[in-house]
Amino acid sequence: MFDLRSLLDVGLAILIVLLIAPFLGRYMAKVYMGRPSLLDALLDPLETAIYRFLGTHPRVAMGWKEYAASLLVLNAVATAFVYALLVAQGSLPMNPLGAPNMSWDLAFHTSVSFMTNTDFQHYTPEHQLSMLSALLGLMMLMFLSAATGLTVAAAFIRGFVRRDGTVGNFWVDITRTLTRILLPLSLLGAFLFALAGVPQTFTGSITYFPLSGGVHILPLGPVATWDAIEFLGTNGGGYFAANAAHPLQNPSAVTNFLAVIMMLVIPFSTIFTFGHMVRRPGESWPLLVTVLTIFLVALGLFMYFELSNPFLAGVATQNSGYLYGAETRFTIPEDALFQVSSIYANVGATSMVLGALTPVAQSTLLFGMFLQSAPGGDGTGFGMLLIFTILTVFIGGLMVGRTPEYLGKKIGQPQIKWATVTILSHPFAIFVPLVVALVSGLGAVAAGTGPHAFTVLLYEFTSESANNGSGMGPIQDNTLFFNVAGAVVMLVGRYLPILAMLAIGGSLASQDTLPPGPGTLRTQSATFALLLLGVLLILTGLLFLPVLALGPLSQIGVGGL
């Protein structure tokens, strides 16, 4: 058993997130609605200069196609820039530990991975990434991918209130997301991390002479700043390979606590941003209740099934919990909170080895990535939730036999078409490469055979399609197949839903708003929250339970589990 006091830590972290979220959510709504805020005096002149530099006019709004095209062009330009950095890093400056140039396929996978908010790492940062690539390349992409996700959510939500076919100005949205949301929060977060013991230096490494003898190299760097945007941006790529398990990246239970708050705060706030932007703050509550229910149940399941591993009973005592592949400085509830937050908010940072988790704990994490929306990553997670909400409204509308409508906008064929494509694209992007890997034998080469190897492969592609980025080792995935297939899966898993969200937003913005009629489904109700919960769980379960049964769940019953 663990120290029961650490349940207070868990409860406090969730409570703080829920206390911040309404205020941060309202502030974010102000940012996207262009309402005055405290930072105006400082930022208005700066942003005006930026818009002039960009050659855009802040009052010019775009239709969804132009918004999407601008987003894609920006993401493509940034990916190409980072790709060039990575393949040439060996001959560029700021490379204290002599990282070599990346191969083309590894650089492709890495640049796509960070641009798509996945941050799946097929490379080992300690000796395969220069500090220049880390700062100028990957850390920049961590800001950019999180900002991209949030602008998508803003544009999607605007579809419910606008009636002129426009969804906003992409260049303005992304600038304001950086200057008013991500940068201030990251500055605060990074400073807190440094206070709590995370290193922050431009020294690339030190040489040290430990008590145990020998001469070793300790890689260092601007870890606190990396950490803050890794978590706040729901990115999840580690400055070190061991990510949040590394004692320099997550040195104590206090930094663990801060990390959890940073991972959850923007995804939960976005739910409130939605209510304010559609000018019906009450609409946030059913969504929040649904997401929170799923999150807490997952947390409880994970925690319970990590208390011990019966398979190791009699071998060693597990008085402090099942610490195989975990770090001693965190309790089991703290590990559970970190891991469930990281996977359910599609961050993908790991504070423990996922491969050795018990089968139910593994299934819990996989289910979070199948859902993608409880609460999901910055912006896109809420977008997925809104897509599920639209489907729920549609199903609810069919039940009462009226034209479905949500917030005064009709939910019809174009919206449902895009929503269906999005939801089906996820299993498609996971299963096709999974089958290829299994049939070709490449999967067996990388991960071995048996139910656990199947789980590892399933986890790899699920994580990439969900833009999560955590990995369940051991797997030899820095190969041509896994790099290229993984990059394609990440691109599909990122941009197809983004296009769908913008398209739905655009199509809704081209409709007039209807007053509620007698057949309108009341969405501000517990019934609707329950219906949404059912749709989320049933749709996801139907799509994915078979593979869960083939992978982790098939190990239940082995050796007393």
Burial per residue of 47-78, b for 16 or more beta-carbon CB atoms within 10 angstroms, e otherwise: beebbeeeebebeebbbbebbbebbeebbeeb
Residue 452 Cβ, how far from other proteins at the closest point, in Å?
A: 3
**How far apart are the C-alpha atoms of 361 and 340, rounded to whole Å?**
9
Q: Write out the binding residues for other proteins, residues 497-526 only, by CB under 8 A.
A: 506, 509-515, 517
How far does the chain reach from its first CA to its final CA, in angstroms?
18
CB of 366 to other proteins, least distance (A): 14
Residue 436 Cβ, how far from other proteins at the closest point, in Å?
23
Binding mask 64-103 for other proteins (x = CB under 8 A): -xx--xx-xxx--xx--x---------------x------
Nearest distance from C-beta of residue 83 to other proteins, angstroms: 13
CA angle 83, 89, 95 (to 5 degrees): 140
Q: What CA–CA distance (Å, rounded) separates 34 from 38?
A: 12
Q: Give the number of other Cβ atoms within 10 Å of residue 43's Cβ.
A: 18
Contact flags string 272-291 toward other proteins, x per CB under 8 A: --------------------
195 lies in the site for other proteins, by CB under 8 A: yes
Footprint of other proteins on 366-405 (CB under 8 A): none
Tokens of 257: 């606590």
Identify residues 205-244 at the interface with other proteins (CB under 8 A): 205-220, 222, 224-225, 229, 240-243
Amino acid (1-letter code) at residue 486: G
For 207, the 3-state DSSP assignment is strand
Nearer to other proteins, 128 or 467 (CB): 128
Judged by CB under 8 A, the number of residues near other proteins is 166
One-letter amino acid at 299 equals: L
- Rounded to the nearest angstrom, the gap between the alpha carbon of residue 347 and the centroid of all alpha carbons in its chain is 4
Instruction: Record the tokens describing residue 442, joined without a space.
Output: 């490449």
What's the CA gap between 291 and 372, in Å, rounded? Answer: 11
48 is an interface residue for other proteins by CB under 8 A:
no
Task: List binders of other proteins among 7-36 (CB under 8 A).
Answer: 8-9, 12, 31-35
Tell me how far, at minimum, the Cβ of 427 lies from other proteins, in Å: 24
In the beta sheet, which residues pair with residue 16? none
Tell me: does residue 494 bind other proteins (CB under 8 A).
no
CA-closest candidate to residue 468, choices 460, 477, 476:
460
Q: How far is the CB of 107 from other proteins (least distance, A)?
A: 17
Q: Return d(Cα 312, Cα 535) in angstroms, integer.
A: 38
Site for other proteins contains 319 (CB under 8 A):
yes
The footprint of other proteins on residues 136-165 (CB under 8 A) is 136, 139-140, 142-144, 147, 154, 161-165
**Residues 428-467: x where in contact with other proteins by CB under 8 A, - otherwise, as a string:** ----------------------xxx--x------------
Which residues in 286-315 contact other proteins (CB under 8 A)?
309, 311-312, 315
**496, containing H or E segment:** helix 480-509
| Binders in 330-369 for other proteins, by CB under 8 A | 330-331, 334, 350-359, 362
Beta-bridged to residue 166, according to DSSP, are: 63
- Residue 476 CB, shortest distance to other proteins, in Å, is 9
Peptide bond into 93 cis (omega under 30): no
414 near other proteins (CB under 8 A):
no
439 within 8 A of 432, measured Cβ to Cβ: no
User: What is the spatial distance between Cα 508 and Cα 529, in angstroms, rounded to a whole number?
Assistant: 22
By CB under 8 A, which span of 200-208, 457-465, 488-496, 523-531 interacts with other proteins? 200-208
